Amino acid sequence: MSQSFREQPRADDPRAVGELVAATGFFQDHEVAIAIELVEESLVRGLEAGYRYFFAEDDEGLLGYACYGEIPCTRGSWDLYWIAVHPRGQRRGLGRALLAATETAIAALAGRAIYIETSSQELYRPTQAFYLGAGYELAARFADFYALGDDKLVYRRALGTDQKAK
């Protein structure tokens, strides 16, 4: 049950991330393809690609990962692009641990706020509850954004001052 976190992407990660993201059942095929592409781009271009990671793994392989980056044209606003935990790694607080590691890393890089986007659909209720439970606030809702009846929700957490206030 020993698990460790790693930040550097490796050659096998695109395949492992694709498998992981697909296994969660939360993402459509074209979204899985994007998750894979980002890791591939990071393997080629390094930090220049704009993405940073935490990979959580045990002896059997990848259990979960987070992908984040500073939003282009901003100073201090970061986006959590991806966070996913494999079904076999769920219900052990791994998502929360990945999120906490990401927040700590962003704060250390002078990040002021973290943004996360998700869908309003029923399927994502646990995701929405996860962000709210982790101290994020709903900063915006764009009606019918993804499709009719499927809104975009934008969650936000300010780093620094907000944490002190808690």
Q: Which stretch binds a copy of itself (CB under 8 A): 39-47, 74-82, 83-91, 101-109?
A: 74-82
Does residue 121 touch a copy of itself according to CB under 8 A?
A: no
Least separation, in Å, of the C-beta of 121 and a copy of itself?
A: 13
Does residue 77 touch a copy of itself according to CB under 8 A?
A: yes
Nearer to a copy of itself, 34 or 107 (CB): 34
Does residue 73 touch a copy of itself according to CB under 8 A?
A: yes
Does residue 144 touch a copy of itself according to CB under 8 A?
A: yes
Does residue 137 touch a copy of itself according to CB under 8 A?
A: no
Least separation, in Å, of the C-beta of 24 and a copy of itself?
A: 17
Site mask for a copy of itself (CB under 8 A), range 28-67, x = bound: --xx--x---------------------------------
Task: Please give, one letter per residue, the 3-state secondary structure of the chain.
Answer: CCCEEECCCCCCHHHHHHHHHHHHCCCCHHHHHHHHHHHHHHHHHHHHHCCEEEEEEECCEEEEEEEEEECCCCCCEEEEEEEEECHHHCCCCHHHHHHHHHHHHHHHCCCCEEEEEEECCHHHHHHHHHHHHCCCEEEEEEEEEEECCEEEEEEEEECCHHHHHC
Residues that bind a copy of itself (CB under 8 A): 30-31, 34, 71, 73-77, 112-113, 115, 139-140, 142, 144-148, 154, 156
